[in-house]
Amino acid sequence: MKSTFNIILACLMAAITLGSCKAQKQVVDGNNSQNTTITTVNTADQQARAQLQAIAQRYGSWRTLKVNGNIKISGSKSFSSGMQMRMVNGQAISISLRPLLGIEAGKLLIVGDSIFVIDKVHRTYIAERISLLTAGIPVTLDMVQDMFLGRAFIAGEGTLTPSRTGSADIRTTEQGGYEVTPKSHPAEYSYSFAYDSARHLCTLTVTPADTRAGTYNLRYRDVRTTTAGDVAHSLDMATAILGENYSLALDYSTFTWNEQVDVDTTVPRTYRRTSGKNLSSLFEP
C-alpha cells in the first residue's frame, strides 16, 4: 500500500514539474514573440529616414552673405534690375536695386518682422509687416532667408538640420524624388518641400488654412554646392500683395560667404511713406 502511494506521489510530482516547464516555455516563447514585434523595422521607412538625414546634411552654417545677380518683380507692371543682396544670418536682408550703370535706384530691406521698400528715384518708401511679401502668411526673417537660398526649414525651429529631422516626415514620390513635410504646422498654413532624386530642392508649397487664398509656390533651379552647403541659384515666387498678384524672380551669379557685411537699415527722414498697394508704381522712370 505504501509502495502504491509512493508511485502515485511520484507521478503527481512529475506531472506538476512537466506542467511547470511547459508553462515556463510558453512564457519565454511569448516574450520572444513580443520582442520580435518590437524590434522589427520597416525597411522602406528606414531608407526614407536615411534620405531625410542626407538632405539635412546638405545645409551648412553661415554668418554673412554677399550676392550679385538679377531681380524681376512682375504685377500689373514689371520691374527688372541688377541687384546686390546682403544678408546677416538671423538679422537682416538688404537687396540693392541697380537697374542702370550700377547706380542704386532703390532697396528692399527686411529687418525683424518688417519689410521696407525704398524708392530713391521718387523719394518714397513702403513700410509693412514682412508678411506683405508672403501673401499675408506670417513668416520670420530666418524663414525668408532660407526661402531665398532654397533651404528647407521647420517653422519656429530653423533650417532643417540633422538634429531637427525628428520634426519632419519624408515620403518617396512617384517620380523618384522626395517630399518633406513638417510634423506640425502653424495655424495659418501648412507647407512642404519637394526634392528631386538627387536630393535637390525643387519646390516649396504653402497652403493657407483659408482655402480661398489658394496655394503659393516657390520654385527652385540650378542647385549648387557652396561653402554653406546646397543653395539654389535661381528661384521664382508667386504671391499676392494686398489683393494683387505678383511674382518675384531672383537669379544669383556670385556668392561670397562670411566676410564683413554692413547693412544700412535706416530710411531717409525726408522720404514720404506710401501704402503697400502702390508697390507696382515704385521704380518707374
Higher confidence at residue 158 or residue 241?
158
- The residues near 141 (Cβ < 8 Å, ≥ 6 apart) are 90, 91, 92, 93, 110, 111, 112, 113, 130
Give residue 284's pLDDT.
Answer: 64
Confidence of residue 101 (pLDDT cuts 50, 70, 90): confident
Which DSSP symbol is given to 164? Answer: G
Q: What is the mean pLDDT of residues 128-157?
A: 91
Would the pLDDT of 220 be above 90?
A: yes
Over range 142-149, report the average pLDDT.
Answer: 96
Amino acid 18: pLDDT = 41
- Arithmetic mean of pLDDT over the chain: 83
pLDDT of 105 > 80? The answer is: yes
Interval 160-213: pLDDT, tens: 999 999 999 999 999 899 999 999 999 999 999 999 999 999 999 999 888 766
Residue 247 has pLDDT above 90, yes or no: no
Q: What is the pLDDT of residues 248-275, one digit of tens each?
A: 899 999 999 999 999 998 999 999 999 8
Q: What confidence tens digit (pLDDT) does each residue in 40-60 have?
A: 345 567 888 899 999 999 999
- pLDDT at position 25: 37
Q: Which domains does the chain have, with CATH numbers?
A: 55-281 (2.50.20.10)
Residue 139 C-alpha from the chain's centroid: 11
Backbone Cα Rg of the chain = 30
pLDDT, average across residues 218-224: 96
Burial of 201 (0-12, 13-18, 19+ CB in 10 A): buried
Q: What is the per-residue DSSP string for 166-192?
A: GGEEEEE-TTS-EEEEESS--TTEEEE
**pLDDT of res. 79:** 81
